[in-house]
Amino acid sequence: MKKILVANRGEIALRVMKTARQMGIKTVAVFSDADRSAPHVLFADEAVHLGPSPSSESYLVQEAILQAAQKTGSDGIHPGYGFLSENAEFAQKVTDAGLIFIGPKPHAIRVMGSKLAAKETVKAFDIPMVPGIDEAITDVDKAKAIARDIGFPILIKASAGGGGKGMRVVEKEDELEEQMQRAISEAQSAFGDGSVFIEKFVTSPRHIEIQVLADSHGNIVHLYERECSIQRRHQKVVEEAPSAVLTPELRTQMGNAAVDVARSCQYEGAGTVEFLLDDQMNFYFLEMNTRLQVEHPVTECITGIDLVEQQIRVARGEALAFAQEDIRLRGHAMELRVYAEDPLNNFLPSIGTLDTYARPVGRGIRVDGGYRQGMEIPIYYDPMLSKLITYGKNREESLYLMREAITGYVIDGVQTTLGFGAFVMDHPAFVSGKFDTNFVKRYYDSEVVKQELKQEQSAIAEIALSIYKAEQDQLDT
């Protein structure tokens, strides 16, 4: 592979290109109107314009991307995350065009894109799953019988898509019919597939995912877990590796289960197997993400393995150069996603220009970003400014580095979620490691934070006034 087209934008496009360049591979960027002079375009060896700013007219236009790859003589396409990364049809078209799709085969993408197909596929491998059913259900009376059997509360889930869409908690039987109809119509309009199924609702789970890596020769390894429970409305905010609660035994069990999930769909490349962990430390398979994930850097920190390099090597047909026992877990890494959103105003996207944009630097600090000072934040895409990653010898050190690094940012022109990040890093529940997916809902109240800010500001004003008065007294005497 001599030249790779990166079918993405922002931080992940840059991230992929940096590794490609290190490997001596040329890079091709694609861009929309809004991204004409974006960092990923300036970084690449070549760049091809796709179309207008909306992603439906640029980053999602399969034919335009394929043409760009042909025109530039690219050998492979890396899809990053989001956009076309989990589109089986696109992966197939790339292959049909004689190019290499740097990701799994269409079969694996298709199977894992449907939660019901995924359950069906992993069944033969004895993977623990939440009590529930593994086929679509439309009959309300049947649903009631199943719910009674499992016991309330139950969760109705859509088979397609993700991000919590089409998900409904049902506390008691007389709410079931209405919630089921809502889930079906939500799933139908969001994904064009109204299939839903039922699971026992795990009330206070942790979200723990396992990174896997598989080659085209049947070798599969896992690269330990990422703890992703700190999220807001299905949007992850903080991720860390390793988890503060897994024992070595549980880590091995979950790792082995993840490898089996990958085996069940003939997975190739880097993938992530998501699990729920309940308060009794039981784990259950949720789904598999068939792409490189936003939070992959924390895994790179604790294993010393460049996941993009591995993706490229696997796509080139190489066998993995290491076995499971060669993969060491060393130190602790944390990632904070920094968004151009206002945490004091319901996390509304904060549009504007980055008048000042200085990032923290130092040992144990990594910032993956796709913005520079003076840039406008386009309204068309995800408002993530950067990912702040810290790596220390243990959890305390990475947490300490994280607090320091947050104060190392200087940003003017837009509101950011940095203050919210500091709130998480200072919270006793987060510090102790005892938290679950309800953390933000349970503890974060923007009104309280606003009050605290007000008090802080009036305290500062009082101090300033007393200094002023003291100086005046000095002058008078």
- Which residues bind to ligand MV4, rule: CB under 6 A? 130, 155, 162, 164, 199-202, 205, 207, 231, 234, 276, 286-287, 437
Smallest separation (angstroms) from ligand MV4 to the CB of 332: 21
Q: Is 363 a catalytic residue?
A: no
Among residues 286 and 302, whose Cβ is nearest to ligand MV4?
286
Among residues 23 and 150, whose Cβ is nearest to ligand MV4?
150
Smallest separation (angstroms) from ligand MV4 to the CB of 153: 9
Smallest separation (angstroms) from ligand MV4 to the CB of 222: 19
Q: Which of 168, 291, 337, 395 is catalytic?
A: 291
Among residues 260 and 274, whose Cβ is nearest to ligand MV4?
274
- The three-state (H, E, C) secondary structure of the chain, written as one string: CCEEEECCCHHHHHHHHHHHHHCCCEEEEEEEHHHCCCHHHHHCCEEEEEECCCHHHCCCCHHHHHHHHHHCCCCEEECCCCCCCCCHHHHHHHHHCCCEECCCCHHHHHHHHCHHHHHHHHHHHCCCECCECCCCCCCHHHHHHHHHHHCCCEEEEECCCCCCCCCEEECCHHHHHHHHHHHHHHHHHHHCCCCEEEEECCCCCEEEEEEEEECCCCCEEEEEEEEEEEEECCEEEEEEECCCCCCHHHHHHHHHHHHHHHHHCCCCEEEEEEEEECCCCCEEEEEEECCCCCCHHHHHHHHCCCHHHHHHHHHCCCCCCCCHHHCCCCCEEEEEEEECEECCCCCEECCCECCEEECCCCCCEEEEECCCCCCECCCCCCCEEEEEEEEECCHHHHHHHHHHHHHCCEEECCCCCHHHHHHHHHCHHHHHCCCCCCHHHHHCCHHHHHHHHHHHHHHHHHHHHHHHHHHHHHHHC
Smallest separation (angstroms) from ligand MV4 to the CB of 203: 7
Among residues 287 and 382, whose Cβ is nearest to ligand MV4?
287
Smallest separation (angstroms) from ligand MV4 to the CB of 386: 22
Smallest separation (angstroms) from ligand MV4 to the CB of 130: 4
Among residues 236 and 366, whose Cβ is nearest to ligand MV4?
236
Among residues 118 and 414, whose Cβ is nearest to ligand MV4?
118
Catalytic residues: 291
